[in-house]
Every structure is written in structure tokens, then in C-alpha cells.
Structure 1
Amino acid sequence: MEVKDVEMRDRTLTPARLFRGLLCLLVLLLTAFMMLVFYGFISAIFVRVFSIHYSRKATSFFFGSWLAVWPFLFEKINKTKVIFSGEMVPARERVLIIANHRTEVDWMYLWDLAIRKGQLGYIKYILKSSLMKLPVFGWGFHILEFISVERKWEVDESTMRQMLSTFKDDHDPLWLALFPEGTDFTEQKRIRSQKYAAENGLPILKNLLLPKTKGFHTCVQDLRQCLDAVYDVTIGYKHRCPSLLDNVFGLEPSEVHIHIQRIPIDNIPTTENEVANWLMDTFSNKDQLLDKFHSQGHFPHEGTEGDLSTMKCLVSITTLMVLTSLSTYLTFFSSIWFKIYVLFACSYLAFATRFNIRPMPIFRRKKIVLKLD
């Protein structure tokens, strides 16, 4: 208890942390804006007109450099320990990720795994549509092809299926992340979830909300032929669940524990009822795993991933700073045509994000079938 108290007292919001956090926010916002307007706009709009595959590769390169700032902030600047356990997963798989949703920043810590596997620019999320309305960042979610949902199945089904249909090319890496609980965990939501479970004969979970099964089943059904596996990810925090500002100012968490179980796609059932039962069983096991984490302070089989490569992060961040510096110079100190371009790009990105518009290639690749007599 004494060690814990000392560590928590050490993580107060000091003037140094406040200044560092505000500086980080400024850098993140500036770099995000410049990467979107100059490089995201070009890779996701102009390149996509000719090739979705190369558009995604270019977008992955540019935004992989920007996203690398976050794991670097967490692990190197804030000194948060990110501890992986469970199974060591391969680097180049097309996967569907399911994870518990304890707080508003769970999804950011999946970047710590993705950067270690070289998939940082290819990770996509299914997220609530209100987040697409965020200035600047909503444009980024659109360019990175996140799937926005209203959390009303009669509205979301067609949107999900349309987006999933664009993810079937085996040549494009894919990490699609889904939080089946549908919202972050709170005590009030837990009570409502347990009441519903008791009334409907479903598992009563202590550390999780009941998962919603339709979205998961749709992802598995539509992508089964082009996925390698499902990663069941369980996230636990010490000593307090962080908020976004906790992350920015380096207050919490002191440790993030990420447990991974890899399930080959062929081991996932096929019918909707079987998939729903499988997901319920998986969350029951996840609930027990979190019970042990809270009592023991760790997940089993730790140490499946090494420390984050400082050199790899510095290369990405250097690339990011060079590109941002060039873009900033062109915007403020160069020809007026660059200012007109920035205005046009901002207008287009706002419009495209609002109406979920993405250009299709002029020349579509056709499959050639040879018939032998």
C-alpha cells in the first residue's frame, strides 16, 4: 500500500507536467492539421482516384508517423509501463480485434501493440458517430476509414456492411478494432447491464458490460474469407483508469496491462446464434480474467512483447516534424496559392466527413478468369 500511495502522490499535476502537456497538445494539434490537409488529403483523395491499395499504403505511411507520437508519449515521456501478456501474435495478419472498453482512451493503447507489429497506420476502429464531428480529428477518422455507428442496429447495419465490403482485398493489411460493449464502463451502466442479464438469463458480469453481438457477427460474417484471426484483447489499468487529459499530462496510468488471446478465424462459429453464444462465453472468461488481474495485479504469461523501440519512434517523429515544418512554411510563408489550397482542402474534408464521401478509382481492377477447354 505504501508503494502505491507514493507512486500516486508522485503523479500530481505539477507546473512542469502542465506545461509539458499543453506543449504536447499544441504539437499534436498542429501536426494533425498539417498531416491531414497536405498529406492525408493527397493520399486519401488524389491517390485513391487511381488506386485504393496505394492510397491506403500512402495514408498508412503518413499517419503511421503521426500516430507513433502517442505510444512515444505514453511509454517514453509519461513513463507508463505497457505490459503485454497471453499469446505473442504474428506481425502480418489481417485481424478483427475485440476489446473491453473500460475508459475513453482504451483504443489508444491498441496503438502500442500495433506499432510493435508494424500495423500502426492500418488499424481502424468502429466508433460512435459523434466522434466524427470533432474538429480536425474527425477528418482524420474519416481518412483512416473508421466506421462510425449510431448504436442503433436498424441504422448501422447498412453503413457497416458497406464499409466492410471495402476491406476485403487481401493485399491491404487490416486491423479492425471493435468494442462489443458499445460504450465505456461506469458503475451505473454496470448495474443496468446486470439487471438486463438477470432478466434474460445471460451471464452477470462484474467488470464488463454485456457485449452487443450483432456488430461482431456482421464483421465475422462479411470478412471471414479474408481474415486470419480474431484477437481477444483484455486491458487492465494500475492504479486508476485514465482520461485523455491524464494521458496528455502524464498523470495516469502508471501501468497498462494488455492480455491477448489469438483465435483462428476458422474456430469462430458461423451462425448468428452460435456467434452470439461464443461472444458471451468469451466475455464471461474475460470477466474472470479481470477478477484475477484486480486481485493479483497482473495477467498470466507476461512478457510477450518487448519494450518500445526508441529509435523506431524517433525516426517516425523526425519524419513527422520535417513534413509538418515544410507544410507550415508553405502555408504561412509561401505563395497565396498554398493558402487557397489549405482552404479548399479543409472545406472538402469537412464536407466529405459530414456525408461519408470517398472517391472511387477511375480504373477498377478486374479479375481475369481463364477458361481452359
Structure 2
Amino acid sequence: MELSKHIGFQVENDISLWETVVRAKAIFTLLVLAGYLFFYHFISIFCSMIHYAFPETSDEIKRIFASSFWNLCIYCLTLNDFQFKVSGDELDPDSAILLSNHLSLADHFVMAYLANYSIKKTNSTNLENRIRLPRINFFSWFTIWRLPTLRIFFNMAKCDENWELDESILEVVFSEVLHSKTPEWLVLFPEVNILTEGNLLLQKQQSERLCLPVLNNLLYPRFSGIFNVVTAINKKNSFKFTKIYDITILYQREGCVENIFRAPTLVETFASSSSPITVHIIVKARFLSRLPSKRAKLERYIEHAWIDKDKQLAQLKEKQTFEIQNSQATKNCNSPLYSAI
């Protein structure tokens, strides 16, 4: 039920004919993307068959088709007035770990956009860009995945939010990423669940009872996934991953005063709208070597990072609200009626 709400299949109020047409267009786009995923899985099976004979070729084919899917998604977003504003530290296309808050299913497209953004400032050729473009690996629900599959939804249905991989199988799960010769991004959403008003209210009650920090714009992070990643890298003594990026996402609906910062559903993401959506993305870069390896210290480190992120989101919301109010006041002052008075 909650997943269908995040996708946008549920409609709470009556909608106009135009909104019905827009929703139909968005659902058609989702069906096209689903068709691409279906086609990709046939390509993936073919690549698995030739992997032992041509390992590099099979990996490159899967890489090209996976990045093409995300590029297609980003192209559809730009057609629907979806705008991205990136600020903070520089993003490198080298292998890294990305930790982000989780507001919408559209967060996955934001990560794909950042991968392309990381190579925009280079003067490389198209071929070099394709080689340097980091491959996005989402680590969630017991698995690393690059494109959505039914297995993700199956794992999601049978597991709780505190899932954790056994240390004995970490090397198997992370083997391909750690041994890859090309840049890899490991993306985690430590909150696991998508932020909703209901989840936030329940969290505040639990935080007061358990004496945890009260977060107003985020869900309290789960530490098991991050600990799995840090343990796997340290266990392998891998020098492939040297940086960790703390990503903060905020969605803003332009021309909309009510629910201005409400994150879009998947259908809204691909729907043409009279109020375009702007994604504010703040990047903080840190060296992975500064992350504690012991679990208790790592949990405190992430908790403090999430407290800072919560304050950062509150400041960003206050700033954007002030700018909108100031812009509206300026428009009112320049109106013919105000001038006549």
C-alpha cells in the first residue's frame, strides 16, 4: 500500500481532465521504462552466458545498457521541467560511497544525474566520458543492484528496516564492485524508508521515549548497511574507495505555496506540471579513512552527520521560503493595481 502511494497510483482527491491526461502520460513513460528494463534483463542473461569467454566485453555491454536507462530517465525529467541545482563540494567521477537522505523514489534518478554531473567539467571526449562515468550501485535490502528488479521488491517485502548481511558473505556480495577496473559508486539510503508525515510523527514519539535526537526533516539512520560497506572495504584492504560523499536532497515545487517541499511521487516526477520541481542537492566530501571502523564509533559518527543534515535542511527550507515570499512581495509591488494606488 505504501509503495503504491510512493509510485503515485493512489489519488486522494478528484482531479481535472487535464490532470488525468498528464497522469496518463506519466504512466505511459513508466511503462516505456519498464519495457526497457524487461529488454535489459534479456541482455543481462546473454552477457552472463558469454561472460567466461569475454568477461570485459560482457561487463561493458551491461554497463552501457544500464547507464543508457538512467540517461533516458534524466532526459524524460528534463522534458518535464525537472531542474537540478548542485552546491557544496566538488564531485569526482572516481569510485566513492554516497550516503543520502531518502525523500522519494526519484532520489535514484538524482544519483544518476550526479554521476553525469561529475564528468561535466572535464574536457574529455565522449568515449573517455563513457569510460570515466561511474557506475551506480545501490546497496539496499541485502543486495547490490544497478537497475530495479523484482528481487528488490521481494526482499523488501520479507525483511525489516534493520536488515544486515552476515560478515561471512560480504566478500561475495561486494566482490564485483571491489575488483572492478572502472569507477563505481556505492549508494546507500541509511534511513531505508522514504520520509512521510506518518513515519516522522511515529519517529518523534519513539525518539522521546528512547532519548534519541529528534529530527524534524529526516528519519533516524539505520547503521547496518553502512557498517557492512565499511567492513567489506576494510576486510579487502581496498584502495579503490577513498572518498565518501554526504548528499542532502530537497525537492521544491515552484509556484506552489502549499506543500512547497513535498517530495514528488514517481508519477509526478514524470508528469508535465504547471509547477516545475527543483531538486536542491548539497554535496559534502569526506575521506573514507576518517570513518571509524568500530561499530559504536561509526554509529555515533553517522548520527552526528544526520543531525547536521537535519539542521542544513531546516536552513535551506527557511532560505527558499524567504526567497519565495520576497519574490511574491516584489510582484505585488509591481502590479498595476499597486502602482495606481
TM-score (norm 2): 0.71
> How big is each residue's C-alpha offset from its partner over 1:277-308, in whole Å with a ceiling of 9 and x where there is no partner?
1100100000001001111129xxxxxxxxxx
Q: Deviations over 1:218-247 (max 9, x none)?
A: 201212433121110000011231001101
Question: What's 1:127 paired with?
Answer: 140
Give the equivalent residue in structure 2 for 1:90: 92
Q: 1:236 to 1:56 in 2, by over 3 A?
A: same
Q: Is the 8 A contact 1:242 1:253 kept in 2?
A: no
- CA distance in 1: counterparts of 2:56 and 2:192, whole angstroms: 30
Is residue 194 of structure 1 aligned with residue 194 of structure 2?
A: no
**What's the counterpart of residue 303 of structure 2?**
280
Aligned residue in 1 for 2:160? 151
Partner of 2:67: 64
Tell me the residue number matched to 2:102: 101
Judged with a 3 Å threshold, the aligned counterparts in structure 2 of structure 1 residues 120 and 71 are, in CA distance, closer, same or farther, namely farther
Gaps of 5+ in 2: 1-15, 119-128, 254-261, 322-341
Aligned partners of 1:243, 1:12: CA distance in 2, in Å? 19
- State whether residues 127 and 149 of structure 1, in contact with CA within 8 Å, keep that contact through their aligned partners in structure 2: no
Select which of 215, 224, 227 maps to 2:241.
227
Cα distance, 1:297–1:12 mapped onto 2, change above 3 Å: farther
| 1:1-373 aligned within 5 A | 13-14=18-19, 17-18=22-23, 20-37=25-42, 39-43=43-47, 45-50=48-53, 53-75=56-78, 77-91=79-93, 93-117=94-118, 122-128=135-141, 137-138=148-149, 150-151=159-160, 156-157=165-166, 162-169=172-179, 171-224=181-234, 225=238, 226-239=240-253, 240-251=262-273, 254-297=277-320
Contact 1:147 1:163 in 2 (8 A): no
Would you say the 8 A contact 1:129–1:149 is kept in 2? Answer: no
- The change in CA–CA distance for 1:276 and 1:254 in structure 2 (over 3 A counts) is same
Amino acid at match of 1:63: A
Conservation of the 8 A alpha-carbon contact between 1:13 and 1:249: no
- Give the Cα separation in 1 of the matches to 2:69 and 2:151: 11
Normalising by structure 1, what TM-score?
0.65
Does the 8 A contact of 1:86 with 1:261 survive in 2? yes
1:200 shift after superposition: 3.3
Counterpart contact for 1:246–1:253, Cα < 8 Å:
no
2:301 alignment partner, SS class: helix
- Alignment partner of 1:209: what SS? coil
The Cα of 1:214 is off from its aligned counterpart by 1.9
Give the aligned length.
278
Letter paired with 1:266: S
How far apart, in 2, do the equivalents of 1:213 and 1:229 lie?
18
Q: Kindly indicate whether the alpha-carbon contact (under 8 Å) linking 1:60 and 1:121 is maintained by their aligned counterparts in 2.
A: no
Deviation at 1:195, TM superposition (A): 3.0
Displacement of 1:52 in angstroms is 5.1
What percentage of residue pairs aligned between the two structures are identical? 19
Which secondary structure does the structure 2 equivalent of 1:249 belong to?
coil
**Cα distance in 2 for residues equivalent to 1:36 and 1:13:** 35
Structure 1 residues 211 and 289: alpha-carbon distance in aligned structure 2, compared to 1, 3 A threshold:
same
- The alignment yields a C-alpha RMSD, in angstroms, of 3.3
On the 8 A contact 1:97/1:233 being kept in 2, the answer is yes
